[in-house]
Amino acid sequence: MNLVTFCGSLRSGSANAATMRAALANLPDGVTVTEIDISEIPFYDGDLEEAGVPASVTALHDAVAAADGVLIFTPEYNASYPARTKNVIDWLSRPPRSWEGRGLTLVVTTPGGRAGAGIRGHFDLVMGHFKVKHFPALGIGAYGDKLEDGEMIDAETIETMKSFIAEFAAHCLAEAPAD
Ligand SMILES: Cc1cc2nc3c(=O)[nH]c(=O)nc-3n(C[C@H](O)[C@H](O)[C@H](O)COP(=O)(O)O)c2cc1C
């Protein structure tokens, strides 16, 4: 069972990248996660796509096609997706739609207590329209209490994430419901 992952924050001190590092260091048995490089992926542009899908986007599709699911770590911006996260989702929704039949979920880490309720709600609403095995997102709030020296150290959060990833992995491997 292999998942691919990326972080939707560009910030060097990103709390979401810290959450991702902690998740990768504490994976449930039988799950491997490969980080994909999204730094070269351009903003979606129909002209670019028509001229030939950029190599960075083809690499993204190849990585997703070879995986069982996509585990996205992302901040919430203005109660929704940051552009960087949404851009990857937009490219994945385009041919060859490598995400079809794969699992897809988010882990959202925020400074406030709402733990990304806005982006998680958007995600649940929108992903029902695609042939992906959507799995409701995990929200981690109040990160100020959970990080030390830029690393996620909260044992309860790390354990919750581990269980969440195990459940997500099982969901990825389950048969998709018939249309
Ligand atoms: C443009 C912008 C919009 C934001 N909107 C939200 C929001 O809607 N909800 C929230 O919890 N935090 C919001 N924040 C605060 C981010 O959650 C916070 O900056 C967080 O640390 C960003 O994630 P990172 O640490 O992984 O970069 C916003 C930050 C920015 C820059």
Q: Domain coordinates of the chain in residue numbers?
A: 2-173
Q: What is the mean pLDDT of residues 151-177?
A: 95
Alpha-carbon dihedral of residues 106, 77, 81, 5, nearest 10 degrees?
A: -40
pLDDT higher than 80, residue 150: yes
Q: What is the mean pLDDT of residues 151-158?
A: 98
According to the model, what pLDDT value does residue 177 have?
Answer: 62
What percent helix, strand, coil does the chain show, rounded to 5? 40, 20, 40
H helix or E strand, kind and range, residue 18: helix 15-25
Beta bridge partners of 89: none
Residue from 7, 14, 78, 123 to probe ligand 1 pocket by mutation (most atoms less than 8 Å from CB) = 78
Q: Whose CA is nearest to atom 30 of ligand 1?
A: 77
Predicted confidence (pLDDT) per residue in 85-144, tens digit: 999 999 999 999 999 999 999 999 999 999 999 999 999 988 888 999 999 999 999 999
Q: Largest alpha-carbon pair distance within the chain?
A: 48
Which residue in 86, 71, 98 sits closest to 171, CA to CA? 71
**pLDDT band for position 145 (50/70/90)?**
very high
Helix then strand count (H, E) for the chain reads 6, 8
Q: What is the pTM of this model?
A: 0.97
Which residue in 133, 134, 1, 6 sits closest to 68, CA to CA? 1
Predicted confidence (pLDDT) per residue in 31-82, tens digit: 999 999 999 999 999 999 999 999 999 999 999 999 999 999 999 999 999 9
* Token pair recorded at residue 74: 């992302």
**Cis geometry, peptide bond prior to residue 96 (ω within 30 degrees of 0):** yes
According to the model, what pLDDT value does residue 126 have?
Answer: 87
User: DSSP class of residue 128?
Assistant: T
Which CATH fold topology does 2-173 show?
Answer: Rossmann fold (3.40.50)
Q: What is the mean pLDDT of residues 15-24?
A: 98
- Residues 106, 70 contacting (CB under 8 angstroms): no
Distance 79 CA to ligand 1 centre (A): 9
**pLDDT band for position 175 (50/70/90)?**
confident
Which residue in 69, 13, 9 sits closest to 38, CA to CA? 9
Q: Using a 6 Å CB cutoff, which residues line ligand 1?
A: 9, 11, 14-16, 75-79, 110-112, 118
Distance 14 CA to ligand 1 centre (A): 10
Q: Which atom of ligand 1 is nearest to the CA of 10?
A: 27
- Residues 99, 132 contacting (CB under 8 angstroms): yes
Q: What is the mean pLDDT of residues 23-28?
A: 98
According to the model, what pLDDT value does residue 66 have?
Answer: 98
Q: Whole-angstrom Cα distance, residue 136 to residue 128? A: 11
pLDDT higher than 90, residue 160: yes
